[in-house]
Amino acid sequence: MTISSNKKPTACLVLSDGSIFYGYGFGAIGTTVAELCFNTAMTGYQEIMTDPSYAGQIVTFTFPHIGNTGITSEDDETADPFAAGMVVKWDPTDPSSWRAHEKITLWLTARGRIAIGGIDTRRLTRAIRQQGAPHVALCHNTEGEFDLKDLLAQAQAFAGLEGLDLAKDASYKQSYKWNEKRWTWPDGYVTEEAPKYKVVAIDYGAKRNILRCLASVGCDVTVLPATATAEEVLTHKPDGVFLSNGPGDPAATGTYAVPMIQTILAKSNIPVFGICLGHQMLALALGAKTVKMNHGHHGANHPVKDVESNKVEITSMNHGFTVDSQSLPVGVLETHVSLFDGSNCGIRMADRPVFSVQYHPEASPGPQDSFYLFEKFAAEMQKSLAA
């Protein structure tokens, strides 16, 4: 593996504190401004780039061999990338997977996403950890000509993610049905032909593999937009309600999501399950608070402890906000905590089948450590139907 042989940099990353990183651009030409984070996963760069939870963020990949599995449409979590850009150490690797049908460089170009290689990602990651997730401007110019003063001004003018509701933009505006199950060998993706449970999934920026996991435990899934009302949800007479992942500040999304969830809880006793932003929405609806983290959790190697069973799961995470465990009200129990920093990773109501987790059980980093959560949701619906 070699760093680009170009003598003249064709891309630069300008941080709001004035730091400048020069490198070699690939993907689209132009400039993008966003919050910068880092992800420690060794695989799954395509899933990361198409995860709606990364809206408004540029991702620094700490694993250097980006591009080695190529691109296949089966691995997209949504139709197009939501991450604003990509930062890597090495030049993109040529694909060496039998499933690949496209190079990452061409994929990024076609989808208007800017990337930069040849960066000291260790130095950049240390800066993010020490100073917090910075606001940055990323520019790709094949002539290597950069207006550094303007790029710095753009980075400093970026408002950041606090107070920003991005779920509306990440959500589908129309409802739709989902019955595709998880990928299995040798059949690939198959459909659920005999579902047992009617589930309404609220789309704050839902990943496809979450919906596949729901279908895989027997759910007939109807996906509704982020702004769906409680009345619209209950019209479908669901056996359970699922709250999806998504981007942005949970407090901003909560202005319309929290009243909906509170009404659902007040009018029914059906099971409710949330993941990531859905976890934060549920916590807010129950009376807790959320806070912005220094640099967030982004990776596929995060140990989480189930405090009720003492089991430790290796999880996938992607969040820049967290539920303040000290703000959990009486009757809401903390079920999971991060073994990295002790932050909250799960809650449940003490007397009702309502629970959520901060991490991504559908991402399978364990690889099956956390799939039990979907099975738990199905079991709660079965118990509710039998009552």
**Is 360 a residue of the active site?**
yes
Compute the 3-state secondary structure of the chain and give helix, strand, coil in percent, each to the nearest 5: 25, 30, 40
pLDDT of residue 228: 98
Q: 297 near 133, Cβ under 8 Å?
A: no
With a cut of 70, which residues of the chain have pLDDT below it? 1-6
Single out the catalytic residue among 35, 77, 362, 380: 362
Dihedral (Cα; 117, 58, 211, 97), 10-degree rounding: 0
pLDDT of residue 6: 52
Q: 334 near 307, Cβ under 8 Å?
A: yes
Domain boundaries, the chain: 11-157, 167-386
pLDDT of residue 69: 95
The two most distant CA atoms of the chain are separated, in Å, by: 71
Quickly name the fold that domain 167-386 has. Rossmann fold (3.40.50)
Element (H, E) at 46: helix 45-49
pLDDT of residue 3: 46
pLDDT of residue 368: 86
381 phi and psi angles, rounded to 5 deg: -70, -40
- Helices (H) and strands (E) counted in the chain, each on its own, are 10, 17
**Is 362 a residue of the active site?**
yes
**Is 276 a residue of the active site?**
yes
Single out the catalytic residue among 139, 213, 276, 345: 276
> Strand pairing partners for 205?
none
CB neighbours of 265 closer than 8 A, spacing ≥ 6? 272, 285, 352, 354
pLDDT of residue 366: 75
Q: How far is CA 23 from CA 129, 140, 165, 239, 363, in A?
A: 21, 9, 32, 52, 31
Place of tokens 């006793």: 269
The CATH number corresponding to 11-157 among 3.40.50.150, 3.40.50.1370, 3.50.30.20, 3.40.50.300 equals: 3.50.30.20
Burial of 318 (0-12, 13-18, 19+ CB in 10 A): buried
CA-to-CA distance for 226 and 254, rounded, in angstroms?
10
Q: 313 near 300, Cβ under 8 Å?
A: no
Q: Which amino acid is at 198?
A: K
